[in-house]
Homo-oligomer: A and B are copies of this chain.
Amino acid sequence: MDYLAEERKKAKFDVEAMKVVWAGSEHAFRINDRISRLVADDPEFSKDVRITLTRKDLLKNTLRKSAHAWKLINELRLTEEEATKLRLYIDQPGYTDLHWGMFIPAIKGQGTEEQQKKWLPLAYKMQIIGCYAQTELGHGSNVQGLETTATFDLLTDEFVIHSPTLTSSKWWPGGLGKVSTHAIVYARLISMGKDYGVNGFIVQLRSLDDHSPLPGITVGDIGTKFGNAAYNSMDNGVLQFDHVRIPRDQMLMRLSQITREGRVLASDVPKQLLYGTMVYVRKVIVLDASIALSRATCIATRYSTIRRQFGSQDGSPESQVIDYKTQQSRIFPLLASAYAFRFVGEWLNWLYGDVMQRLQAGDFSTLPEAHACTAGLKSVTTSATADGIEECRKLCGGHGYLCSSGLPELFAVYVPACTYEGDNVVLLLQVARFLMKTVSQLGSGKRPVGTISYMGKAEYLLQCTSDVHIAEDWLKPSFILQAFEARAMKMSVRCAQNISNSPSPEQGFSELSADLMEAAKAHCQLIIVSKFIDKVQQDTTNKSSVKEYLSVLCNIYALSTLQKHLGDFLSAGCITSEQGALANEQLRHLYTQVRPNAVALVDAFNYTDHFLGSALGRYDGNVYPTLYNEAWKDPLNDSDIPDGYEEYIKPLLKQSFKYSRM
């Protein structure tokens, strides 16, 4: 029985068409649909017991799933796109994420053609398993501060890889602890006494015969992480080198080379090529944010529709909690954010292609802008998603605290996205640097391009006021855009002015960095809003209702962001408090419009129950029997009498201890 059937009937748009919009294309939709069902239907990929496993068993469980996935990929001759989706829907962090997602791309990006020819086939066939060993105990964000050394030995034509201090131990690399046979190790290149800074090296860690660590290598797991299963299925590792020797040709030499004589040469390949990879990785992270947030909102929305609490009059059913305006004001902005992040991620896809084309053509002009924009979007979307998942958990009341709700694991597995691939605060400060630079060049005739082009209208934006008169005015994209542009502009310019009043720019930047972080956020939120608006306008489903609800979501994203940062908008003078109140009023109307469509809007994500992994978020809404049955599966329920009863409960109850008090 479908307990949500009534809700589904209420939807005023074509869910099937929305599914395609969410997926990005018919093609993408079909692949997602097929692969997610493939995983869901295969008992090898069951997620049932994993939260109850010890770490050893959990790692083994991951190894088994990875091997099975590899079998399927080959047997079914999956394409690379399909194989990536397979790993996504298996939904369990594992060494293959790093092997395919970091090790191989690093060789592709930083290896010479020769090196690629040698190593890539081994990696593609998984005859070696690799990880990405950059972070150390003492250095994460500051990569230039890494301490591991790779000293060239002229006599033997080898590098000596060494960990000179405790803090130089590699620390965090996924797949390193127990599985990887090889690693890209980032180390200081030292030749003839000179330190050439950090470079990548391919280092074998374990014997290919019996998997034992090679001489001079100490390697292990760094211990339990946040969450029950979550990232504990991954062997994030620690690694120390005691003068380990590797041949000279295992330094990744696309960007700089070392000769037999120990001379270090920069290659003629421009360093900027590395940025391509960065844009790629961050695009993936933004799309992952939309997946994680959409999962959480799907669970919270479906459950809030099933859950009834209070408001029964004379025996009639109680109110569905989704009908409470507070519940709506908490869920719907997150639902809109999931869509917003999805579309900005899609746009980043385009940007990546554009950047790559330009790089190939030797045009580096858009790189700073692309770099700032991807750094900022990574930061803003992952922070909002992490907070959003936890809010969805709270929206489910007590039951959200059970692992069977799926939400605790979703949170625990997601939050490190705020830290890895660039700490979110460090990234925002990079965006801020770019903003300050752009502002400082405004008079110079250099026209800002791409996402920063609004700064070309600085003069106008700094003095414009909003023309919103009635609540409905806030539905107009031009009004929204202008408010967001004016806010971002004003915040950047205000920071720039304050910095210019400081003893030195560096001191000013540092002193004002908290404000700069806010200015960077404002810039990124503007990008998200404007890409959402573009998406709505470009929508070609020709089903007007789809477009209509995309537009509702777009407005919710914009106005709830405005409401949350009202202080920015008001102090920038770009809107008045009356206009703020009108935005709030309009937001309430928008929530009312979403309400009957809420379940359909999360159905459009097309997630299987396997992928959601949630008793509360089930497609059929059959929440209570599922929660109940899940409970009894806990190993604690194997016996009525718990272990420890004889030793620690019975003596209490029987007063067999000598208690002197009371």
Residue ranges of A at the interface with B (Cβ–Cβ < 8 Å): 51-52, 54-57, 59-60, 63-64, 66-67, 70-71, 73-75, 77-78, 124-129, 135, 137-142, 145, 166-167, 169, 171-172, 177-179, 181, 208, 210-213, 219-228, 231, 235, 238, 309-310, 312, 318, 324-330, 386-387, 390, 393-394, 397-398, 400-404, 408, 411-412, 415-416, 418-420, 423-425, 429, 510-515, 517, 563, 565-571, 573, 577, 580-581, 584, 588, 624-625, 627-628, 630-638, 640-645, 647-653, 655, 657-662
Contacts and interface: CB of A to CB of B under 8 A. Distances in A.
A139 B657 contact: no
B571 A513 contact: no
A635 B653 CA distance: 35
A566 B74 CA distance: 57
Residue in A55, A401, A577, A645 whose Cβ sees the most chain B Cβ within 10 Å: A401
A208 to B, nearest CB: 6
A214 to B, nearest CB: 11
B67 A651 contact: yes
> Which 8 A-B pairs rank lowest in CB-CB distance, beginning with the nearest?
A566-B567, A571-B577, A226-B408, A60-B644, A63-B648, A329-B514, A63-B644, A178-B642
A3 to B, nearest CB: 13
Given A394-B418, A415-B401, A647 B513 contact: no
A524 B402 CA distance: 30
A64 B644 contact: yes
Contacts of A411: 226
Given A55-B634, A166-B624, A325 B513 contact: yes
Contacts of A393: 226, 415
Nearest to A172: B398
Given A423-B397, A624-B167, A577 B573 contact: yes
Contact of A310 (B124, B142, B624): B142
Given A125-B659, A128-B653, A231-B401, 20 more contacts: A54-B635, A59-B642, A59-B643, A63-B649, A67-B651, A67-B652, A74-B660, A78-B661, A145-B318, A166-B625, A169-B628, A181-B653, A208-B653, A223-B402, A226-B393, A226-B403, A226-B408, A238-B631, A387-B387, A398-B420
